[in-house]
Amino acid sequence: MVQATVDAPPVLRMRGISKQYPGVQALDNVDFEVRAGEVMALVGENGAGKSTLMKILAGAETRDKGEILLDGKPVHITTPHEAMDLGIRIIYQEFNLVPYLSAAENIFLGREPRARVPGFVDFRTMYGRAQQLIDDLGVQIDVRTPVQYLSVAQQQMVEIAKAISQNARVLAMDEPSATLTEHELQNLFRLIRRLKEQGVGIIYISHRLEEIFEIADRVTVLRDGKLVGVRQVAETSRDELIRMMVGREITEQFPTRQTQRGEVALEVRGLNRKGVLHNISLKVHKGEIVGLAGLVGAGRTELARAIFGADPIDSGEILLDGKPVRIRSPQDAIRLGIGLMTEDRKSLGLILSMTVRENNTLANLKALTRLGFVQLRRERQVAEQYVRDLMIRTPSIEQAVKNLSGGNQQKVVLAKWLFTRSKVLIFDEPTRGIDVGAKAEIYQLMNRLAEQGVAILMISSELPEVLGMSDRILVMHQGRIVGELSREEASQERIMHLATGGG
Ligand SMILES: Nc1ncnc2c1ncn2[C@@H]1O[C@H](COP(=O)(O)OP(=O)(O)OP(=O)(O)O)[C@@H](O)[C@H]1O
Ligand SMILES: [Mg+2]
């Protein structure tokens, strides 16, 4: 009798996993597996249960039901420590770094190389090894720098270095690309391929489907906490995955907008910030969406922060509706009608312990206050409206924001700024970490705002988004605006040419 080759059992198998939170069935009898040397992608809409499944795998969250097997044998995972000992590593969507410790200390936290003198850390060895790991990832970070001074992308790379600094059998990455640039992403993919060769089972979560097709072997789709199916990447398509994720047809087209370009709403003249921004001048008209393109480090976020008063400027002028204004703090900016929606929702965006309703109206309580009292009924109506409009997945508006999935937190930030009724809105990577269905909603919302006369400056690293949404595109390179393209002239190639310093 011919013996069929029996595949080795998957390195990881999760069986019948269920998890309930008050009001939410986050996972419902989910099966999931990864083979050694395989990249298994995990996709689904915001709130589908991806992060919850990974937290259960990591022992960071308890499960109500289900079992976990390594190499076909059931294992006991109820604490992060047990998962670590079994060689399971997770790179979380929300970082777990200690802000005031250096990158190196974070990487080796709890297992620092010991010096000969008992009780002392061998810093030289630690810095050396940490630097090696970081250099291998192809990023430029001095590992002695406290992580609070690193950019979001750099912090992400420190997380990754931390996860791979110990031998892993299973490595899960929860939306690593949400904060990375193309260059860093390619470094990460190179690393993933190397780990694959070493037989590590890799789990890769992302909302950017093109990445799935580039790096993954198979893909698991979740919807509403349930397993929808598993596909070989080579045998599926973007359309099929989207259908499985959202359970209906959606168009990926950018919605059209009837622009009525009005007066200049925001003007920046000769703005300088030493070493960061050089002689920046720009105008955004009412009803216009201006895209701000460039590579990471080009100074786009820095420009947004300078306009918003979050960083000081050395010289230059900002005018609103033609009148010079002084903006020394974000409070000044908000009072003048400028909103900044950032990619860094933890520091500038949200108060995580407060509810969806409270976060929603935080930046504009004035609008809800009558005779010194906040009108609760009105506040609730407003919050309910945004939850509906933006399809925020939450059991109620009274849910603490920290209990929402990452993408849904992002939508709350958006709602908050929409409610300020700002005249000028700066969006910094508005759709990072947002699922395909909700992206389309956000684009429609931006269009509606523009049609109502809001001036929008949109920073985005996703070129299709820049091309699809902007009336005009400004390109930055090394702290300068190096080119302007009209909607008609613009193409991916022309933007990249300017962004990489080609004149
Ligand atoms: N600690 C918690 N308390 C209450 N509900 C929670 C908690 N953690 C997660 N949830 C809920 O469980 C569901 C699944 O969340 P999860 O974070 O796993 O989604 P996700 O697929 O990772 O989404 P995203 O793409 O936005 O990151 C969501 O409805 C979320 O609001
Ligand atoms: Mg998540």
Cα-Cα-Cα-Cα dihedral sign, residues 383, 385, 386, 392:
positive
- For a ligand 1 pocket test, name from 405, 414, 432, 435 the mutation site with the most ligand atoms within 8 angstroms of its C-beta: 405
Predicted pLDDT at 193: 94
Residue nearest to atom 12 of ligand 1 (CA): 26
Average pLDDT of the segment spanning 28-49:
96
The pLDDT of 470-474, averaged and rounded, is 96
Q: Is 221 in the pocket of ligand 1 (CB under 6 A)?
A: no
Domain with CATH 3.40.50.300 in the chain: 12-246, 258-337+422-503
* Max mean pLDDT range (189-203, 239-253, 435-449): 189-203
Assess whether the C-beta atom of 461 lies below 6 angstroms from ligand 1.
no
Is residue 460 within 8 A of residue 291, CB to CB? The reply is: yes
**Residue 359 above 70 pLDDT?**
yes
- Ligand 2 centroid from CA 345, angstroms: 14
Identify the architecture of domain 12-246 in CATH. 3-Layer(aba) Sandwich (3.40)
Share of the chain above pLDDT 70, in %: 95
Q: What's the CA gap between 410 and 412, in Å, rounded?
A: 5
Q: What is the pLDDT of residues 412-421, one digit of tens each?
A: 888 888 887 7
359 pocket-lining for ligand 1 (C-beta < 6 Å): no
In this predicted structure, what is the pLDDT of residue 4? Answer: 41
Q: Which atom of ligand 1 is nearest to the CA of 54?
A: 18
Tell me the pLDDT band of 2, cut-offs 50, 70 and 90: very low
Is the separation of the CB atoms in 455 and 486 below 8 Å?
A: no
In this predicted structure, what is the pLDDT of residue 345?
57
Mean pLDDT, range 486-501, rounded to an integer: 89
Tell me: pLDDT of 341 over 90.
no
Strand runs (DSSP E) across 117-198, as ranges? 170-174
Q: What topology is assigned to 258-337+422-503 in CATH?
A: Rossmann fold (3.40.50)
Report the alpha-carbon distance of residue 35 to residue 56 in Å, rounded: 18
Between 378 and 131, residue with greater pLDDT: 131
Residue among 24, 93, 356 to mutate when testing ligand 1 (max atoms within 8 A of CB): 24
Determine contact, residues 37/196, Cβ cutoff 8 Å.
Answer: yes
Report CA(98)–ligand 1 centroid distance (Å): 23
Q: Residue 181 — pLDDT band, cuts 50, 70, 90?
A: confident
What pLDDT does residue 105 have? Answer: 92
Ligand 1 in reach of 405 Cβ (< 6 A):
yes
404 lines ligand 1 (CB under 6 A): yes
> What average pLDDT does the segment 252-272 reach?
88
Question: Across 375-440, where does the E strand assignment appear?
Answer: 424-428
Amino acid of residue 9: P
- Computed over every residue of the chain, the mean pLDDT equals 88
Ligand nearest to the CA of 402: 1
- Which residue's alpha carbon is nearest to atom 18 within ligand 1? 49
Report residue 26: phi and psi, to 5°.
-70, -35
- Binning pLDDT at 50, 70 and 90, where does residue 11 land? very high
- In this predicted structure, the answer to whether residue 389 has a pLDDT above a threshold of 90 is no
Identify which of 314, 309, 379, 383 has the alpha carbon closest to the alpha carbon of residue 339. Answer: 309
For residues 207-234, average pLDDT: 95
Ligand 1 neighbourhood includes 48 CB (under 6 angstroms) = yes
More confident residue, 306 or 161: 306
C-beta of 407 in contact with ligand 1 (< 6 A):
yes
Q: Kindly tell me if the per-residue pLDDT of 169 is higher than 60.
A: yes
Determine whether 486 is exposed, middle or buried from the number of CB atoms within 10 Å of its CB (0-12, 13-18, 19+): exposed
Select the highest-mean-pLDDT range: 20-34, 148-162, 163-177. 20-34
How confident is the model over 133-153, as pLDDT tens digits? 898 887 888 999 999 888 877
What stretch of H or E contains 119? none
267, pLDDT greater than 90 = yes
> What pTM, to 2 d.p., does this model score?
0.77
| Chain length of the chain | 503
Q: Is the CB of 26 under 6 A from ligand 1?
A: yes
3-state SS of the chain: helix, strand, coil percent to 5?
35, 25, 35
**Which residues place a Cβ less than 5 A from the ion ligand 2?**
51, 93, 405-406
Closest ligand 1 atom number to CA of residue 394: 31
The string of pLDDT tens digits covering residues 305-332 is 999 999 999 999 999 999 999 999 988 9
Q: Give the model's confidence band at 3: pLDDT under 50 very low, under 70 low, under 90 confident, else very high.
A: very low
344 band by pLDDT with thresholds 50, 70 and 90: low
Whose structure tokens read 């100074």? Answer: 299
